[in-house]
Amino acid sequence: MKMKSVIPYCLMVGYFLFTIFCGSDTHTSAHSVDRPHKWDKFYFVHHWPVTVCKMNDNDCKDPLMYWTIHGLWPDKEEECNRTWHFNISELKDLMGDMEQYWPDVIHPNNTHFWKHEWEKHGTCAAELESLNSEKKYFNKALELYKKLDLNSYLLKLGIKPGSTYYQMAAIREALTKVYDVTPKIQCLPPEEGQLQIIGQIKFCFTKEFELRNCTESKAYSFSAHKDKFFKTEDLSNCNDTLTYYPSHITWKHFVANTVNLS
């Protein structure tokens, strides 16, 4: 009699454990399906400090004269893990490169900028094992920056900031030949009687960090790849017209010295 009473008890416990594990798996699957937008690429974003300073009405007396990192952004709209807070000590081994290549171009302290990038974008990227820590995420962005070497290639192409104007179509074509993919180039739209101003250049990467063309379906043409930290939401895709590449915060748009890159 005792043996018979034990069997139903074991079956009941087994069923209970089965329900817990299966229920947990079901919940995880449902959670992943319910995500608003499943990302499949990165935007690796460079911005031009002079334009950023101008857009933010910031008194940048001596803006950097090279393209710096704005961010490495999964193509995803929302923050992914608000409980995974930024810890500056994780970047101690990267600090030299971070300050040089990924500075806050309008504020004296970089920490708030890096915190913003990690908590909005890094925690999404951390879904990948290769980026599942602060150090991995920021280090990968630094690696991509050095690999692309945008500043050097622009100089080799004869594209320099100053009083010269460029046809945007020519800049886009030149970069496409160098990288064998088409980047997304964004400009500050022209005010009346003036020209558009180059502001950001975005390269697109797969999750395996292979360059790809920056194309997107109309279904997902939302603001996931915009970042309001520097008010760069005012930037839009450049038109294939004359474009100013500024070297000073205060400028006048006299149309002269147009360069033909072809």
pLDDT at residue 261, as a whole number: 67
pLDDT at residue 31, as a whole number: 29
pLDDT at residue 216, as a whole number: 58
d(CA 124, CA 114): 15
pLDDT at residue 164, as a whole number: 83
**Which carries the bigger pLDDT value, residue 158 or residue 256?**
158
Q: What is the pLDDT of residues 234-244, one digit of tens each?
A: 899 999 999 99
pLDDT at residue 32, as a whole number: 33
**Which carries the bigger pLDDT value, residue 164 or residue 255?**
164
Most confident of 18-27, 178-187, 210-219, 249-258: 178-187
Among candidate residues 67, 54, 66, 39, the one with its CA nearest the CA of residue 201: 67
Residue with tokens 């063309």: 213
Structure confidence at residue 260 as a pLDDT band (50, 70, 90): low
* End-to-end Cα, the chain, rounded Å: 94
Q: What is the pLDDT of residues 75-105, one digit of tens each?
A: 876 668 888 999 999 999 999 999 999 999 9
DSSP-derived secondary structure for 204-257: EEETT--EE-----GGG-SGGG--GGGTGGG-EEPPSSEEE--SSSS-------
Considering 46, 121, 134, 225, which one is annotated as catalytic? 121
Residue 114 pLDDT greater than 80, yes or no: yes
pLDDT at residue 94, as a whole number: 98
Structure confidence at residue 252 as a pLDDT band (50, 70, 90): low
pLDDT above 90 coverage of the chain, percent: 61
Considering 46, 47, 116, 117, which one is annotated as catalytic? 117
Among candidate residues 181, 158, 146, the one with its CA nearest the CA of residue 245: 158
Q: What is the pLDDT of residues 126-138, one digit of tens each?
A: 999 999 999 999 9
pLDDT at residue 248, as a whole number: 80
d(CA 183, CA 106): 25
pLDDT at residue 249, as a whole number: 65
pLDDT at residue 20, as a whole number: 39
E strand map for the chain = 41-47, 68-74, 165-167, 184-188, 196-206, 211-212, 236-237, 242-244, 258-259
Q: How far is CA 166 from CA 16, 144, 193, 214, 262, in A?
A: 70, 26, 17, 22, 11
The mean of the pLDDT values for the chain is: 81
Asked about 70 being catalytic, the answer comes back as: yes
Which fold is adopted by the domain 43-259? Ribonuclease Rh; Chain A (3.90.730)
pLDDT at residue 139, as a whole number: 98
Considering 70, 116, 119, 225, which one is annotated as catalytic? 70
d(CA 16, CA 27): 16
Q: What is the pLDDT of residues 156-167, one digit of tens each?
A: 999 999 988 999
Average pLDDT over residues 49-78: 87
Residue 123 pLDDT greater than 60, yes or no: yes
d(CA 257, CA 118): 42
Structure confidence at residue 187 as a pLDDT band (50, 70, 90): very high
Domain residue ranges of the chain, discontinuous segments joined by +? 1-34, 43-259
Maximum distance among all alpha carbons in the chain? 102
Asked about 117 being catalytic, the answer comes back as: yes
